[in-house]
Copies of this chain bind each other. A is one copy, B any other.
Amino acid sequence: MTPTAPPALADKIVPAEFLQDLVAFCQQKGFIWGPSPEIYGGMSGFYDYAPLGKLLKNNVEKTIRDTFQVNDFWEVECPTVMPAKVWEASGHLGGFTDPLIVCSKCKASFRVDKLLEELYPDKSIKPENYLSFIESENLTCPSCQSEFIMEIKKHNLMMKTQVGLDTVAYNRPETATTTYLPFPRYFDFFRKKLPFGVFQIGKAYRNEISPRQFVLRMREFTQAEAQMFIFADQKGKFEQLERIKADELPLWNYKLQEAGEGPSATSVEQALADGDFKNQAYAYTVWLSYNLFRNAGIPPDRIRLRQHGPDEKAFYADDAWDIEVRLNSFGWTEMCGVHDRTTYDLTQHAKFSGKELSVSDETHKKETPHILEIAFGVDRLSFALLDIFYNPQDIKEGKTTFHIPTALAPIKIGVFPLMKKDGMEELAFGIYEELSKSFVCRFDSSGSIGRRYLRAAEEGTPYCITVDYETKENGTITLRDRDTEEQRRVQKDVLRITINDLLLGKKRFSEVGVAVTKKEE
């Protein structure tokens, strides 16, 4: 899928203003509502996907599924609630904490790391120095200016619950751990042959103290994670490499970052030769993630792949790159992590569960497989599409548009009668009902036709159909293209196939029906 190029952005977007506009747009048009439940005052970090947002998110999830499936990853769905033991093994029960500091007077809690990051964006203060730094700078509570209680509390981010009468359990803080656990079952399902790939799309929960950044940092969110289970020696010689090795990726390796230079378009093969990726299988997972984000409509000039520096890498990670996407509201933003987790997870779960998780085949004696992992947030990806394809320039012209790529558009077709009289409404409604069997459509008969075109453009609807007097005479309707505002007359009997061809990119707009000479708006 080739995403529609977004219209040129205003030279100077003010990110905070843009975000405010965008959030208002999401709420008013019915993309995202919240914090939820709104009538009860809302809990920060929880949101509703409204009808248009849910259609968008479903389309994003469909792209994820299609991309993984074509690349032979198989979807699973594991419970979102797991017993304490699992999270002891994964390290979340001990280590998954935020540092908090509490005001001595108003008792407000703050995340120390975020507080210092905001106040001193250019300084990098280490956790062991938080207290001494606060002391030396005489920092006080941002709410009431009183002194802090000088103690860093560790706030665990997991939402605890209970199963049965006495089993302590937690809402999962990530999908990944739950995906590792059926490993012995996978091994049978894939007929005892490695490598194989699985993925999961589902809810995860993090009890952040002060969630921010709209749906970028939620307490309940949707994650997509894919894992490849592979023997160590298979990582170096990976069958799929052949077909992808010439593809270029916008790599921003650690050296370029240190030198203050930007990313460089590098072929997978070259990156392997340069040591940017340690092995072929890992290179493939990075390539796959990049293509997934491109398939999901993120334009190439807004993606870069950033290598983790040696200090930044998790202790178990052998290789780690992030996908970053340039948002209008938050600048370059981490959207996806691709990690070589080696044998860490299966070793931990073998130890804590007491079950054998090493396996053998014809050429391998009992070995614990490695896990290569792709992890990203579905909410972030959906938000990125809203952020990128919503154009602030248009607002200033009194015209809001959402130039989402056609394949991801929540509603594909708007159907309008020019007027409510002379049978046009009934005729239009019949067309709407017929097309609804194949596409998500919206019927709209209220307000001027220009107002209805505008509303549809705001919702990102790529094509609108208008039924007018001519429809009754010769059976043609007006088909209007969101982006060019061009209109063409098409026979209503071939509408379904025409629209299908347009949506699949089999035909261009200029190739269907006949041009309308005068504007009818």
User: In this assembly, does A106 line the interface, its C-beta being within 8 Å of a C-beta of chain B?
Assistant: no
User: In this assembly, does A437 line the interface, its C-beta being within 8 Å of a C-beta of chain B?
Assistant: yes
User: In this assembly, does A182 line the interface, its C-beta being within 8 Å of a C-beta of chain B?
Assistant: yes
Question: Can you list 21 contacts pairing A with B, beta carbon distance less than 8 Å?
Answer: A30-B189, A36-B78, A36-B82, A36-B181, A36-B182, A38-B184, A39-B182, A40-B83, A40-B181, A43-B163, A47-B79, A48-B77, A50-B189, A54-B74, A58-B65, A155-B165, A160-B162, A161-B171, A163-B207, A163-B219, A165-B209
A273 CB, nearest partner CB in chain B, Å: 27
Which of B44, B45, B46, B78 lies in contact with A48, CB distance below 8 A? B78
Chain A window 332-364, contacts with chain B (Cβ cutoff 8 Å), 1 for yes, 0 for no: 000000000000000001001101010000000
Give CA–CA (A198, B209) in the complex, Å.
32
B43 near A349: Cβ-Cβ < 8 Å: no
User: In this assembly, does A309 line the interface, its C-beta being within 8 Å of a C-beta of chain B?
Assistant: no
Chain A window 65-97, contacts with chain B (Cβ cutoff 8 Å), 1 for yes, 0 for no: 100011010111111111101100000000000
> Are A162 and B159 CB-contacts (below 8 A) given A75-B58, A86-B40, A203-B203?
yes
- Chain B residues in 8 Å Cβ range of A466: none
Closest chain B residue to A66, Cβ basis: B437
What 8 pairs across the A-B complex have the smallest Cβ distances? Answer: A51-B74, A49-B77, A46-B79, A39-B353, A30-B189, A37-B181, A39-B355, A159-B161
Closest chain B residue to A108, Cβ basis: B165
User: In this assembly, does A266 line the interface, its C-beta being within 8 Å of a C-beta of chain B?
Assistant: no
User: In this assembly, does A113 line the interface, its C-beta being within 8 Å of a C-beta of chain B?
Assistant: no
Give CA–CA (A352, B39) in the complex, Å.
10
| CB proximity to B under 8 Å, residues A427-477 | 436-437, 440, 446
Give CA–CA (A167, B74) in the complex, Å.
38
User: In this assembly, does A178 line the interface, its C-beta being within 8 Å of a C-beta of chain B?
Assistant: yes
Give CA–CA (A300, B439) in the complex, Å.
28
Which of B43, B55, B155, B209 lies in contact with A83, CB distance below 8 A? B43
A185 near B30: Cβ-Cβ < 8 Å: yes
B207 near A162: Cβ-Cβ < 8 Å: yes
User: In this assembly, does A109 line the interface, its C-beta being within 8 Å of a C-beta of chain B?
Assistant: yes
Residue total for A at the interface (Cβ-Cβ under 8 A): 74
Beyond contacts A36-B79, A54-B77, A171-B171: 5 other A-B pairs, Cβ-Cβ < 8 A, are A37-B83, A38-B181, A38-B184, A159-B163, A164-B209
Closest chain B residue to A349, Cβ basis: B39
B181 near A46: Cβ-Cβ < 8 Å: no
Closest chain B residue to A61, Cβ basis: B58
User: In this assembly, does A220 line the interface, its C-beta being within 8 Å of a C-beta of chain B?
Assistant: yes
User: In this assembly, does A191 line the interface, its C-beta being within 8 Å of a C-beta of chain B?
Assistant: yes
Give CA–CA (A33, B240) in the complex, Å.
30
- Chain B residues in 8 Å Cβ range of A55: 75
B48 near A182: Cβ-Cβ < 8 Å: yes
> Are A43 and B167 CB-contacts (below 8 A) given A75-B51, A182-B50, A189-B50?
yes
Give CA–CA (A516, B178) in the complex, Å.
47
A158 CB, nearest partner CB in chain B, Å: 9
User: In this assembly, does A57 line the interface, its C-beta being within 8 Å of a C-beta of chain B?
Assistant: yes
A414 CB, nearest partner CB in chain B, Å: 14
Closest chain B residue to A222, Cβ basis: B77
- Chain B residues in 8 Å Cβ range of A80: 80, 203, 220
Closest chain B residue to A196, Cβ basis: B51
User: In this assembly, does A205 line the interface, its C-beta being within 8 Å of a C-beta of chain B?
Assistant: yes
User: In this assembly, does A169 line the interface, its C-beta being within 8 Å of a C-beta of chain B?
Assistant: yes
Give CA–CA (A162, B171) in the complex, Å.
11
Closest chain B residue to A37, Cβ basis: B181
A120 CB, nearest partner CB in chain B, Å: 25
